[in-house]
Structure 1
Amino acid sequence: MTIVPSSLDKRGQILRELAFTTRRVGEELHGSAEITPEMHVPGTTILRTSILATWADTVSGLLASLVMGPRVPVTLELDVNLYRPAPGEGTVLVVGRVVKVGRSVFVAEFEFTVDDEPIAVGAASFMVAPNPDVQLPPTLSVELPPTTDRLPMPLAERANCERVGPGTVLLPYSIEGLNASDTINGGLIALAAEEAVLSLAPGDSLSFLGLRYLLGARVGPVIAEARLREGVGRVELRDTGNDNRVTTLATARTFGR
């Protein structure tokens, strides 16, 4: 789950620099942000699909917190499907809606537009964090205010997410990359998965990114290893500091540029 804490909390600082804001509109939660060059896929002027996944996780997770709070919702699955490569400039708007509130699982859907042009859709599911001692901040609001924080460099560089070989990426543990349950933020996990696939397809971008979160990455670094065949990628992410356990399985499809 990608919930951005207060500005006094260094957790989530990296993703706070995406300058994403949210507001309630009836039963929906709307989020928006301006695209900057630091959000582009390397070597292109295309917005990263992993950033869309991060914003989708934020909106869906905040909706889940209204139901599951004060317990922390954790993301089970999330997918983003793009109609075409995302633009490299403009204002992104995401609209999140509740689909299901069950006893153990919460589901939300979302739609993305850029300057009123539809670009992507998707859905996410959540469960309550197993540890009852992990709780949301009492001051948490689902309306994230504007911030002056901005990415000072490309996102992968800011997160020290490093391509160490074809199909292999290393993402370190950093307090600035943690979420509300003190695990590596799901948005940065999405970034590592995207980077692993794109290292095998330079200059391309992802038309689909699906993530199955199996275990929180509590120690790090996380290693992401991808295979790509006929434009379809499969990524396995492991927490090397926690007995190399699998934390996330990701599936991706490239546009084949």
Structure 2
Amino acid sequence: MTISTDPGAPKHMLDELGFATTRAGEGLRGEASITPAMHVPGARRLRTSILAAWADTLTGLLACQVMAPRVPVTLELDVQSYRPLPSAGPVQGHARIVKAGHSVFVATVEFTSAGAEPLAIANASFMMAPNPGLTLPPSFSVELPVRRERLVKPLAERAGCERRGSGVAVLPRSEDGLNASGTVNGGLIALAAEEAVLSLAPGDSLCSLGLRYLQPARVGPVIATARLRNGLGQVELRDSGNGDRLTGIATARIFHGTRAIRDR
């Protein structure tokens, strides 16, 4: 889960993105406004990793409804954009359940602009957290209000996610960056993967980002290492403080700008 399901819980850094959710029939609707702090470095475009975080929120809340009182954990998450994402204005996400099975839950999200222009689609799958003692709070609600605190610095800076050379990004573990199971948030892991790829393509943005979460990142820092060939990136994400275990893999594709793409 990206944003805490407990209204009384300490604030999470991704709450500062201003994403609010409401019921929409059997699905959920989410909305937020883009600010410059959400832009890709060197490009006036919304980060694809932020769409991934919002998709994780919407689909995760739907999963909570089905799996309650157990806590769901994300297995896979992908975002596919139709075109370069906007630099300003509201973004709306409409999420619905695709499959609510006994072991795996799947949901999809359609992101649009305020004028209902399609921006991207996202899909996510979940399973119950292995620990049966991990349960949702009694105050759980799928309707999340906008938090008063707003992001005032670039997201990567706020998260402490740094590019460490070509193809490498490092994300520290922070108390306000954890998910409901106390491990590094999946939306922030998406940010680390995005930063690793974009370090190989400065000034570009991602048109797609797909993540496979293999095991929780418990200790950190998470180190994302990317390779890029003909605009297609591969990323390994490792929990460096926990025996350098592989915590996830990602694939990403960049929008081709005027800059020549070099193989790395």
Q: Does the residue aligned with 2:148 lie in a helix, a strand or coil?
A: coil
8 Å Cα contact 1:4/1:15 also seen in 2:
no
- Corresponding position of 2:44: 45
Deviations 1:10-40 (A, max 9, x none): 3x62100001000001111000001000000
8 Å Cα contact 1:172/1:220 also seen in 2:
yes
d(CA) in 1 for partners of 2:54 and 2:65?
17
8 Å Cα contact 2:6/2:137 also seen in 1:
no
d(CA) in 2 for partners of 1:114 and 1:83?
12
1:108 aligns with 2:114: no
> Superposed, which structure 2 residues align to 1:111-190 within 5 Å?
111-115=110-114, 116-190=116-190
Q: Which runs of 4+ in 1 moved over 3 A?
A: 5-8
d(CA) in 1 for partners of 2:168 and 2:7?
33
The residue identity in structure 1 corresponding to 2:208 is F
1:70 aligns with 2:84: no
> Superposed, which structure 2 residues align to 1:205-244 within 5 Å?
205-244=205-244
Q: Name the TM-score, length of structure 1 as normaliser.
A: 0.98
d(CA) in 1 for partners of 2:225 and 2:256?
20
In structure 2, relative to structure 1, the CA distance for the partners of 1:3 and 1:70 (3 Å cut) is: farther
d(CA) in 1 for partners of 2:35 and 2:190?
19
What RMSD over aligned residues (CA atoms) do the two structures have, in Å?
1.0
1:246 aligns with 2:249: no
Q: CA deviation at 1:7?
A: 5.5
Q: CA deviation at 1:69?
A: 1.1
Q: CA deviation at 1:138?
A: 1.5
1:99 aligns with 2:98: yes
Q: Does the residue aligned with 1:151 lie in a helix, a strand or coil?
A: coil
Deviations 1:195-236 (A, max 9, x none): 000000000000000000011111001000000000000000
Q: CA deviation at 1:6?
A: 4.1
Q: CA deviation at 1:8?
A: 4.3
In structure 2, relative to structure 1, the CA distance for the partners of 1:182 and 1:22 (3 Å cut) is: same
The residue identity in structure 2 corresponding to 1:150 is R
Q: CA deviation at 1:4?
A: 2.4
Q: Does the residue aligned with 1:165 lie in a helix, a strand or coil?
A: coil
- Corresponding position of 2:260: none
Deviations 1:107-138 (A, max 9, x none): 00110001221110121000000011111122
Q: CA deviation at 1:3?
A: 3.2
Q: CA deviation at 1:140?
A: 1.3
Q: Name the TM-score, length of structure 2 as normaliser.
A: 0.95
- Gaps spanning 5+ residues in structure 1: where? none
Q: CA deviation at 1:180?
A: 0.3
Q: Does the residue aligned with 1:216 lie in a helix, a strand or coil?
A: coil
Q: Does the residue aligned with 1:54 lie in a helix, a strand or coil?
A: helix
- Corresponding position of 2:262: none
8 Å Cα contact 1:3/1:61 also seen in 2:
no
The residue identity in structure 1 corresponding to 2:73 is V
- Corresponding position of 2:13: 14
Deviations 1:73-122 (A, max 9, x none): 00000110000010010100000000001110000011000122111012
d(CA) in 2 for partners of 1:48 and 1:205?
7
d(CA) in 1 for partners of 2:240 and 2:252?
22
Q: Does the residue aligned with 2:78 lie in a helix, a strand or coil?
A: strand
- Gaps spanning 5+ residues in structure 2: where? 258-264
d(CA) in 1 for partners of 2:140 and 2:197?
35
d(CA) in 1 for partners of 2:29 and 2:254?
27
8 Å Cα contact 1:3/1:62 also seen in 2:
no
d(CA) in 1 for partners of 2:147 and 2:119?
25
d(CA) in 1 for partners of 2:5 and 2:25?
23
8 Å Cα contact 1:216/1:247 also seen in 2:
yes
- Corresponding position of 1:79: 78
